[in-house]
Structure 1
Amino acid sequence: MTDRAVTAPPGTKNPPNRAAGAARGFLGLLVVPCVLVFVWAIVAALLDSLVFPGPLQAAEGLIDDLQRPAYQESVITSIRLLIISWVLAAVVGALVGFVLGQSQFWSKVFQTPLFALYSIPKVTLYPVFLLLLGLGEPSRIVFAFLHGVFPVALLVMGATATMDTKLVRLADALKLTWWQRVTKIVLPALLPTVLVALRISFGLTFLGLVLAEMFSADIGLGRELVNNVANVRIEQIAGQVLFIGLLALGPVLAMLAVERRVKARVGIR
Structure 2
Amino acid sequence: MSTEQTVENAARTSTGSGGKWLIGFILPLTLALAWEVAVALKWSDGRLLPTPSRIFLTLADLAKSGELTGHILATLQRVGLGFVFGVAAGTLLGAVSGYWTSVRRLIDPSLQALRNIPSIAWVPMFILWFGIFETSKVILIAVGVFFPIYLALSGAILGVDRKLVEVGRIFRFSHQEMITRILLPATLPTYVIALRSGLGLGWMFVVAAEFMGAEQGLGFLLVDGQQTGRPATILASITAFAILGKLTDWLLASVSARFLTWQDGFKPAE
Normalised TM-score (structure 2): 0.82
Partners of 1:75 and 1:220 within 8 A in 2: yes
Distance 2:129 2:22 in 1: 42
Q: Paired residue for 1:123, among 110, 120, 125?
A: 120
Instruction: State the shift of 1:26 in Å.
Output: 7.9
2:30 counterpart residue number: 38
Q: Paired residue for 2:219, among 222, 237, 243?
A: 222
2:153 counterpart residue number: 156
Distance 1:216 1:173 in 2: 57
Name the stretch that deviates more: 157-166 or 20-29: 20-29
* C-alpha spacing 1:30/1:161, structure 2 compared with 1 (3 Å): farther
Q: For 1:188, what is the secondary structure of its paired residue?
A: helix
* Relative contact order higher in (CA < 8 Å, ≥ 6 apart): 1
Partners of 2:132 and 2:212 within 8 A in 1: no
2:63 counterpart residue number: 66
Instruction: State the shift of 1:176 in Å.
Output: 2.9
One-letter code of the match for 2:28?
Answer: L
Partners of 1:90 and 1:152 within 8 A in 2: yes
Mapping of residues 242-253 of structure 1, within 5 Å? 242-253=239-250
Percent of residue pairs bearing the same amino acid type? 24
1:13 counterpart residue number: none
Normalised TM-score (structure 1): 0.82
Q: Paired residue for 2:176, among 179, 194, 205?
A: 179
Partners of 1:213 and 1:222 within 8 A in 2: yes
Distance 1:18 1:261 in 2: 22
Distance 2:14 2:172 in 1: 38
Instruction: State the shift of 1:67 in Å.
Output: 2.1
2:5 counterpart residue number: none
Q: Paired residue for 1:205, among 197, 202, 206?
A: 202
Distance 1:26 1:207 in 2: 30
Q: Which runs of 5+ in 1 are unaligned?
A: 1-16
Distance 1:268 1:173 in 2: 28
Name the stretch that deviates more: 167-176 or 54-63: 167-176
Name the stretch that deviates more: 85-94 or 162-171: 162-171
Partners of 2:221 and 2:234 within 8 A in 1: no
Aligned-residue RMSD, C-alpha:
2.9
* C-alpha spacing 1:266/1:68, structure 2 compared with 1 (3 Å): same
Mapping of residues 1-269 of structure 1, within 5 Å? 31-32=23-24, 34-46=26-38, 47-104=44-101, 106-107=103-104, 110-256=107-253, 265-269=262-266
1:9 counterpart residue number: none
Q: Which runs of 5+ in 2 are unaligned?
A: 1-8, 39-43
Name the stretch that deviates more: 186-195 or 100-109: 100-109
Distance 2:131 2:90 in 1: 25
* C-alpha spacing 1:133/1:20, structure 2 compared with 1 (3 Å): farther
**How many pairs were matched up?**
253
Q: For 2:192, what is the secondary structure of its paired residue?
A: helix
Partners of 1:149 and 1:201 within 8 A in 2: yes
Distance 1:28 1:104 in 2: 46
